[in-house]
Amino acid sequence: MDDKIKALSAPIGTTLDRCIDLNQDEFPYATGDLSRLLRDIGLAAKILGREINRAGLAGIGGMAGSENIQGEDQKMLDVVGHIRFVRALKMGGQVCCIVSEEQEELVLTGNEDAKYVIAMDPLDGSSNIEVNVPIGTVFGIYRRKTEVGTSPTVAEDALQPGHEQVAAGYVLFGSSTMLVYTTGYGVNGFTYDPTLGEFYLSHPKMRFPEEGNIYSINESHYFKYAEAIQQYLNHCKQEGYTARYIGSFVSDFHRSLIKGGIYLYPATPGVYPEGKLRLLYECNPLAFIAEQAGGMAYGGGQRIMDIVPKDMHQRVPLVIGSERMVKEAMGFLD
Ligand code: FBP
């Protein structure tokens, strides 16, 4: 066969939709609903990705003039991300309620017959939007606890520990757009091909490399951190580890997953006494990914996914990354 024809007809790869179909029998309750929900997330990610790429041209890289529940100034894209995902999930019909960083109350979708609950950070790392540094979306999916057909509640449906997640993942809006997720059977990464409008499987069965020597933490808080953290950071320097900190959790986590490494956001007295990152829609989803990729995630001396949430927007200290590096850090912290 002519080489040109061979090259032009080479297989492009496995699409996200095809992968979801192929792996559907992995889902304990396989009825297609979770598959449809993952597709809805893929669609919302494509749309938000377009808005992010055009933000500078559309003049939507700035402030929204409103605050979220944490009193943080919302960026326009924070609000756009929230609206885009909530609309896609409402229309998709698979989610009965949504916990979102950008809304204080539980979002009731009106889909009372839906079986799933989603906790999400529509746009993580938003302090990096106008400086064109990678940002992301984080999501964790749970089965509802209340009766299908009834109105979901915060106490039963939203405040579930991370080990109840049936799926979790993130979208990374970086030099390329990637969707990385797990349903409890390993971690797969998909890269978006804008010329075809499809996510293609580019990183099958992702695992943390055994070895890693990159540590990621906001060291400007060094003197505020507990002595144990200071000692661990001194150790990282003595060991010749490399420091990297993008300041958007999804990006720092993704780098650790690819190259090996550890990310920490400890309790920071005077700034974030409980830690900065939110348990339900930042820590739990990436903890599920981390464990499925051979890594670990701890907070307050406890496995992150065993923490029983008290509040939808509660913050927790976090140590997450390669198993060897997290164990080493826990050795200092414990
Ligand atoms: P949001 O942008 O979603 O609020 O996320 C919090 C976050 O931006 C993380 O992505 C990032 O790792 C961290 O805060 C950076 O915090 P700091 O600027 O205090 O180091």
Give me the pLDDT at residue 70, please: 67
State the closest ligand 1 atom to the C-alpha of 252, by its place in the atom list counted from 1: 12
Testing ligand 1's pocket by substitution, the residue of 248, 262, 277 carrying the most ligand atoms inside 8 A of its CB is 248
> How much is the average pLDDT of 54-62?
80
Reference 49, options 206, 200, 175; nearest CA is 175
Residue 139 has pLDDT above 60, yes or no: yes
Residue 67 has pLDDT above 80, yes or no: no
| Residue of 8 and 229 predicted with greater confidence | 229
In the chain the domains, ranked by start, together with CATH numbers, are 16-203 (3.30.540.10), 214-333 (3.40.190.80)
Distance CA(116)–CA(312), nearest Å, equals: 16
Testing ligand 1's pocket by substitution, the residue of 76, 100, 249 carrying the most ligand atoms inside 8 A of its CB is 249
pLDDT bin (cut points 50, 70, 90) of residue 30 is low
Distance CA(299)–CA(283), nearest Å, equals: 9
Testing ligand 1's pocket by substitution, the residue of 67, 68, 75, 127 carrying the most ligand atoms inside 8 A of its CB is 127
Q: How far is the CA of 253 from the centre of ligand 1 (A)?
A: 12
Testing ligand 1's pocket by substitution, the residue of 73, 138, 265 carrying the most ligand atoms inside 8 A of its CB is 265
Nearest CA residue ID for atom 12, ligand 1: 249
State the residue for tokens 């505020």.
224
Reference 126, options 246, 34, 10; nearest CA is 246
Residue 290 has pLDDT above 60, yes or no: yes
Rounded (10°) CA dihedral 224, 68, 90, 53: -80
Give me the pLDDT at residue 72, please: 73
Residue 29 has pLDDT above 60, yes or no: no
Q: Which of 6-20, 80-94, 204-218 has the lowest mean pLDDT?
A: 6-20
Give me the pLDDT at residue 65, please: 77
Give me the pLDDT at residue 23, please: 75
Which class for 110: exposed (0-12), middle (13-18), buried (19 or more C-beta within 10 A)? Answer: exposed
Q: How far is the CA of 85 from the centre of ligand 1 (A)?
A: 20
pLDDT tens across 300-313, in order?
Answer: 889 999 999 999 99
Residue 319 has pLDDT above 60, yes or no: yes
Residue 28 has pLDDT above 60, yes or no: no
Q: Which two tokens stand for residue 172?
A: 């990374």
Give me the pLDDT at residue 79, please: 92
pLDDT tens across 241-280, in order?
Answer: 999 999 999 999 999 999 999 999 999 999 999 999 999 9
> How much is the average pLDDT of 168-181?
97
Distance CA(296)–CA(281), nearest Å, equals: 17
Nearest CA residue ID for atom 18, ligand 1: 247
Distances (CA, A) of 45 to 68, 170, 269: 21, 10, 35
pLDDT bin (cut points 50, 70, 90) of residue 318 is very high
Q: How far is the CA of 278 from the centre of ligand 1 (A)?
A: 10
Q: How far is the CA of 248 from the centre of ligand 1 (A)?
A: 5
State the closest ligand 1 atom to the C-alpha of 70, by its place in the atom list counted from 1: 4
Q: Are 57 and 68 in contact (CB under 8 A)?
A: no
Residue 71 has pLDDT above 80, yes or no: no
Pocket of ligand 1 from Cβ distances under 6 Å: 72, 101, 121, 124-127, 218, 247-249, 252, 276
Classify 184 in phi/psi space as left (phi over 0), alpha (psi -120 to 50) or beta.
left
Q: What is the mean pLDDT of the chain?
A: 93
Give me the pLDDT at residue 27, please: 59
Give me the pLDDT at residue 102, please: 95
Nearest CA residue ID for atom 19, ligand 1: 218
Parallel/antiparallel/unpaired status of strands 177-182 and 73-75: unpaired
Give me the pLDDT at residue 210, please: 83
